[in-house]
Amino acid sequence: MRDKTKLSEKQKNILRFMEQYIEGHGFPPTIREIGNAIGIQSTSVVNYNLNKLVVAGYLTREAQAARGLRLVNKDGSGKRRGSNAAVSKTNSTVQVVGQIVAGFPLPIPDDMAAAFSEESIEIMPSMLHGNDISEVFALRVKGESMIDAMITEGDIVIFHKQSTANNGEMVAAWLPERNETTLKRFYREGEQIRLQPAHPTMPAIMVHSSKCEIQGRVLAVIRPNV
């Protein structure tokens, strides 16, 4: 039987943050996000404590998965707690309408949506976060600029259709002057928009607010066959 009194304060804080993060986002945080949230600068220290939590039976880790951290329920199952704890038995089907670049933006061909129009994916109702299924769409990721947000090439991102976003939210941003679309974190800085990758070597994209259109906000990320 697990005994939380044997955990360090760092480890208890990690568990609390992970529960809150999964509740709000529908997918686990990155190691860097955990460190920033609980005040640990060293990712190796975060990783050490995560491994301790795995040994103690509170987490599981999938080394090759883009979102490899999982909270373990009290019954020992590896299901995520939080927003996915109480799941309806009826899944929803979302159309994968195209491809989005998580990297340096690339031109999107006119027939991109048509090329992917027959692809769809089933999602749990909890991933909708209360949004109507008619207001949700999916895009397949190309590129690695969001790797530190545990989003990698081939993942499918679920979006809520909307034209506005709050600072720090991950969005699908359309850059009409370039005829390009991209997946980045959104930040408004005066009249400028900063589209920030989650990658240590990739620079942000800076555009005037009139030249950036938000198409959707990230609700969840799915890695097929994982």
According to DSSP, residue 132 is labeled -
Which class is domain 4-71? Answer: mainly alpha
Is-contact 162 129, C-beta < 8 A? no
Q: What Å distances lie between residue 220 and 42, 125, 214, CA to CA?
A: 27, 11, 17
> Which residue ranges make up each domain of the chain?
4-71, 92-222
Active-site residue, selected from the candidate residues 145, 163, 209, 210: 145
Please state the pTM of the whole predicted model: 0.58
Low-confidence residues of the chain, pLDDT below 50?
64-66, 75-89, 106-117, 226
Q: What is the pLDDT of residue 103?
A: 62
Q: What is the pLDDT of residue 67?
A: 57
101/106 Cα distance (integer angstroms): 7
Q: What is the pLDDT of residue 89?
A: 44
Is-contact 182 173, C-beta < 8 A? yes
| Fold observed for domain 92-222 | Umud Fragment, subunit A (2.10.109)
Active-site residue, selected from the candidate residues 184, 209, 210, 211: 184
Q: What is the pLDDT of residue 104?
A: 56
Is-contact 17 27, C-beta < 8 A? no
Mean pLDDT of all residues in the chain?
79
Residue 184 annotated to the active site? yes
